[in-house]
A and B are shown apart, each in its own frame.
Chain A
């Protein structure tokens, strides 16, 4: 829950300005970007995600380092990714 997981913004969702499609550890899902409103989040940007919300923008090097680190910590990260995969939070069309 407390782990920040990096993700790469793939596309913005046209009719839902709070949502972006994001690639997270190979999983594609919708992430709420309302808390980064006004920061011009665009495809190709990297963000740090907590419980389905982007809390900060990071650069690609930090994203890669953070991912490597998370993969190294084992069970806690696997649990978080399992939960994320099972979560179907408001994909476009569902919200």
Chain B
């Protein structure tokens, strides 16, 4: 059946939980692309047949015409699936800059194809440029604030970091009392958690 592979491509991506994605399926993707080219060849040959019989392209409604219509529709459908596959993944990638910061973790990078990695870098740069023009960091304060300072537990050896005006050593399992906006990026990257009694 025409368009089956294209739907399969999307189904795999749609199965994922919200905001997650699968490794880029280049095998299936390439198969859908070649299906598109196959449809185009068939379409061209049917059009040629109509032309050879000296029939009017605009008004002819014979078997060749409907064959061509089916190939055209299948091509349009395949294109929509391919575009939606890329587009929906791009939307998830857009969210990454806000959630994990400007550098992608290895395991996530492996799921992207080359163009997507480029896209992530360019998109990060676009946000960066906007923020520096405004001189305002928009990647913190993702939830409404309650207390300016929070108690956190460090989950991994982060080492010496510079916060505002002083430096602090963040060793695994240590507890700290930090400004919320300083702690936020670490929490979102899974290196700290808020410590609640």
Tell whether A and B belong to one assembly: no
